[in-house]
Each structure stands twice: as C-alpha cells, then as structure tokens.
Amino acid sequence: MRARGWTISVDGLYGPQTDGVARSFQREKGLKVDGKIGAATWRAAWESPVT
C-alpha cells in the first residue's frame, strides 16, 4: 500500500498502524471495514484507482 501512496512504516507482522491504514483504505473504497486483508481488500489494493 505504501507503493500506492499510503503512509505506513513497518510496525510488526500486523501491528496497529497497519490495522489503521487497512481500515482507512476499506472505508475509502466502500469495503467492509474490519481491518483484515481479505480477498476484496487485497484485490482493491492492487486494482482500484489511486485516490
């Protein structure tokens, strides 16, 4: 997600910063907001327009 413009740094395997960015991304893309990188979130991370 960093390569697509999101500000995120390494915070562990899946730390609180990663969870926060995942939730923000999901909200922006109209996805279910759960902080999990499931199939829909993963697909959107690579295929949705960068906003």
What confidence tens digit (pLDDT) does each residue in 1-51 have? Answer: 677 777 777 777 788 888 998 999 999 999 999 999 999 999 998 888 877
Tally of domains in the chain: 1
Q: Is residue 1 part of a domain?
A: no
| Cα–Cα dist 17/49, whole Å | 22
pLDDT score for 41: 94
Q: Is residue 28 part of a domain?
A: yes
Q: Is residue 9 part of a domain?
A: no
37 lies in which domain range? 16-47
Structural contact between residues 22 and 41, judged by C-beta atoms closer than 8 angstroms: yes
Q: Is residue 4 part of a domain?
A: no
Q: Is residue 6 part of a domain?
A: no
| pTM assigned to the model | 0.76
Q: Is residue 29 part of a domain?
A: yes
